[in-house]
Amino acid sequence: MIRIENVSLRIRATPILRDINLTIPKGGVVALIGPNGAGKSSLLSLIARLRPLQQGTIHIDGLPVDRTPGPELARVVAILRQDSTVASRLKVRELVGFGRFPHGRGRLTAADLEIVDQALARFDLTDLADRFLETLSGGQRQRALVAMAFAQDTDYLLLDEPLNNLDMHHARELMRSLRAIADTRARTMVIVLHDVNQASAYADRIVAMQNGRIIADAAPLDLLTPDTLETVFGFRMRVEIIAGKPFVLHHL
Amino acid sequence: MAGRRILGLALVAVACMVAFLAIGLRGDIAFVLQLRAVKLAALVQVGVAIALSTVVFQTVTGNRILTPSIMGLDALYLFGQMLMVFLLGGVGYATLDPQLKFAAEILLLMALACALLLPMLRRRLDMGLMLLAGVVCGVLFRSLQALLARLIDPNEFAVAQSASFASFNAVRTDLLAFAALVTLAAVIVVWRARHVLDIVALGADAATGLGIHWQRTVTGLLVLVAALVAVSTALVGPVAFFGLLVAALAERIAGTVRHATLLPAAALTGIIVLVGGQALFQHGLGSGAPLGVVIEFVGGIVFLLMLLWGSRR
């Protein structure tokens, strides 16, 4: 369980997050949605202790993120950042192998290699495994980074816009994989998504943020209504129910 | 594949060492050999120290162009030395126990390097700004050193000056044993940190996500770099582009950025360039003086080419 209590964040004088309280139980997919600058990425960074906590507390499975030793926390939670730039001359397999670092401090056992191979296969990277990262397209690199986070084999996975740069096919494959991982392995995913329809199709729960606050928090069917969407994003959009899932026609 | 390349480099390095010892032996062979062996030990140490400090520094700062000496670390070391001459006087300075003095200088450099570089790293300055800041720092320390040099007595100046020019001919052999201890300790620490260095190379956020305590790790690595810079600068004086040349060559030869391969490749390349070059110039061509110049010349060209090719990261 991720427990966020009274978390606020300021950068210089600008409030980024205001008094966030959120509990995410173990298992399932939670989507974070909201307009640019709502504080979604900042919240994710705080949960993954990439930023120091200024106010409030965050616990993951009872571990306080600001006081738990790094290696211990890295076996519980993994994060994929939005703007990860890995520019050095690395092969895809090496990058994914780095995901095993918290477990063996760099020495890869046969079991580790097995997990790396699984991660490569799951994200359709087996053919690219021996390519250098710099020779990959943005979408392929994005998949390699997701595979690395997956290879970290943690109960909690925080993904900041994992669909960046992905084509339709790979976006769908990635969301299906994440859903399958959450279901079969009882993992918890917190995913920042810009496409509300992806959230509708794959998330159990959607948390909507705006201006540093959580303003709605419900199952997709209850949250994705024209009224709520208008308060979050500031304009009215049509919502149709197709096959039991809300479908937002936000581009019309 | 990588293993074979390292083996090849090791063989070339050994060949260079043998050549350095053996070429043009004349006269009292035992005496000459002993003289050369001491010098060889110093050169090997300097080669390894500069190579490793550069690779570690480049990994921590996340670029392939900056080196400790471009960031002015060796200028800082020399400034510290001049400051000591200034404060203690030439006689006081010369009568200090060299090893004690060296230990004090290392500690001073570690503290100054951390005070200077950590804020820069914390603010995630980009490459251009870091480079600029480094050049400014280098000029500042060199100027301060020059200022002190003007203030002190000419006799004292001579004491200080002998330390501030790179010379692969006149290595300081009195510090050799102590420096060797420092180098050895640093080599062991760097080697044990090879996997951590791989992760540090991914950047602050990714490394934190993988459980690295960024601040602590980077501080430790910078202290290590400072120790290695102090060793090489104390033994032969400042060399600006040698580290860059060696690190760039090693990365090409190793064909990977994994530190388990890159570190030994860099150390061996450092030995080859330094010992091989010295053997060629001193024993082959009869003069050791141009080696420093040639290394700086080639290294400077590599630096410019790397800037032009835009391998800034």
Residue A246 resides in a domain = no
Is residue A248 in a domain?
Answer: no
The answer to whether residue A233 sits within a structural domain is no
How many helices (H) and strands (E) are present in chain B, helices listed first? Answer: 14, 0
A230 occurs within a structural domain: no
What value does the mean pLDDT take over residues B257-272? 89
Is residue A189 classed as helix, strand or coil in its secondary structure? strand
Same structural domain for residues A23 and A123?
Answer: no
Query: What range defines the domain where residue A46 resides?
Result: 1-76+154-224
Same domain, A137 and A196: no
**A211 and A161 in one domain?**
yes
Domain match, A20 and A115 both: no
Q: Is residue A245 part of a domain?
A: no
pLDDT digit string, tens, across residues B198-235: 888 888 888 888 888 888 888 888 888 888 888 888 77
Domain-embedded: residue A9: yes
Q: How many domains are contained in chain A? A: 2
Domains identified in chain B and CATH numbers: 2-17+29-309 (1.10.3470.10)
**End position of a domain, from candidates A107, A138, A153:** A153
pTM of the model: 0.84
| B198 to A106: CB separation less than 8 angstroms, yes or no | yes
Contact B203 A84 (CB under 8 A): yes
**A17-31 pLDDT tens trace:** 888 888 988 888 999
Are A130 and A20 found together in one domain?
no
The reply to whether A2 and A69 lie within a common domain is: yes
> What is the arithmetic mean of pLDDT over A32-45?
89
CB B102, CB B93: distance < 8 Å: no
- Is the pLDDT higher at A73 or at A87? A73
A126-178 per-position pLDDT tens digit: 888 888 888 888 788 888 888 988 888 889 999 998 888 888 988 888 898 88
**pLDDT score recorded for residue B267:** 92
Check CB contact of A85 with chain B, cutoff 8 Å: yes
Q: Are residues A69 and A9 in the same domain?
A: yes
Q: A72 and A3, same structural domain?
A: yes
Distance from CA of A19 to the nearest CA of B (A): 24
Are A137 and A175 in the same domain? no
Distance separating alpha carbons of residues B149 and B143, to the nearest angstrom? 9
Q: Which of A153, A173, A203 is the last residue of a domain?
A: A153
Out of A100, A120, A153, pick the residue that ends a domain. A153
State residue A249 phi and psi, 5-degree precision.
Answer: -95, 70
Q: Residue A133 in contact with residue A95, Cβ under 8 Å?
A: yes
Distance CA A119, CA B292 (A): 50
Torsion of CA A34, A37, A40, A42, to 10 degrees: -170
What per-residue confidence (pLDDT) applies to B313?
Answer: 45
Please, is A60 exposed, middle or buried when counting C-beta atoms within 10 Å of its C-beta (0-12, 13-18, 19+)?
buried
CA neighbor of A83 nearest in space, from B204, B313, B128, B126: B204
Is A27 in the same domain as A137?
no
CB contact under 8 A, B208 and A70: yes
Concatenate the DSSP letters of all residues of B107-166 into one string.
Answer: HHHHHHHHHHHHHHHHTT--HHHHHHHHHHHHHHHHHHHHHHHHHS-HHHHHHHHTTSS-
| Contact call for A70 and B212, based on CB within 8 A | yes
A42 and A163, same domain (yes or no): yes
CATH code where residue A217 lies: 3.40.50.300
A193 belongs to a structural domain: yes
Q: Which pLDDT score is estimated for B266?
A: 92
Is the predicted pLDDT of residue B312 greater than 50, yes or no? Answer: no
The confidence score (pLDDT) of residue B288 equals 54
In the predicted model, is pLDDT for residue A64 greater than 70?
yes
Q: Which of B60, B64, B202, B262 to mutate to probe the A interface, most A CBs <10 Å?
A: B202
What number is the ipTM of this complex? 0.82
Q: Is A160 helix (H, G, I), strand (E, B) or coil?
A: strand
Using an 8 Å CB-CB cutoff, list chain B residues near A149: 209
User: Looking at the structure, do residues A29 and A137 belong to the same domain, yes or no?
Assistant: no
Q: CA-CA distance, A60 to A49, in Å (whole number)?
A: 11
Q: Is A109 on the interface with B (CB under 8 A)?
A: no
Q: Are A28 and A205 contacting, i.e. CB atoms less than 8 angstroms apart?
A: yes
The reply to whether residue A98 touches residue B198, judged by beta carbons under 8 angstroms, is: yes
* CB A33 within 8 Å of CB A209: yes
Within a domain: residue A101? yes
The answer to whether A88 contacts B211, with C-beta atoms less than 8 Å apart, is: no
Secondary structure (3-state) at B10: helix
